[in-house]
Amino acid sequence: MAEAITGWPDDVYTELDAAGIRQVSYVPDAGHSRLIQRCRSNRAMRTVSLTTEEEGVAMGLGAWLGGVRHVLLLQSSGVGNTINMLAAPIEMRVPLLMLVTMRGEWAEFNPWQLPMGQGTRAALESVGTLVYAVDRADEIAETVAAAARIAFNTGRVVAVLIGQRAIGAKTWNK
């Protein structure tokens, strides 16, 4: 990965902890690696590595029904896997907070990432998800805090799209 702007994963972790997040599900991703490490080190947070992103939507539903706040960490390339499953929390008005690291944007080297990267926002919004995109590292934590308040106070599915500019573009190493 190219030189990423540092610090935002620690700030996001602080906001998630302050929001009462106690369950974190994720598909392993370099863009979320520092945040995942921080969550795994917190004994009050249960972390679960997923095999596919829609499992995280189901975990979020179960967590909420059990009285626990959950966040789903995923990459834009996996958003398409969640679209059908998002019908449940949207129709049931169950809050779901998703943090999506973007690919297929700024300085992308992999053409396979372009279609979903370019369509992520539209796909999520088309099924009723509230979407907040952020490209500046210094705005990520405050955007996550605001999205968590919206999700958990209004029973909505909310996604924060963390732009490739903020996480650092991956490069092809020959």
Closest of 60, 38, 35 to residue 162, by C-alpha: 35
* Domain ranges (residues) in the chain: 8-167
pTM of the predicted model over 0.85:
yes
71 DSSP β-pair partners: 24, 97
The predicted-structure confidence for 63-121, as pLDDT tens digits, reads as follows 999 999 999 999 999 999 999 999 999 999 999 999 999 998 988 888 888 889 999 99
Q: Which of 3.30.420.40, 3.40.50.300, 3.50.50.60, 3.40.50.970 is the CATH number of 8-167?
A: 3.40.50.970
The predicted-structure confidence for 114-125, as pLDDT tens digits, reads as follows 889 999 999 999
CA within 13 Å, CB half, 121: 12
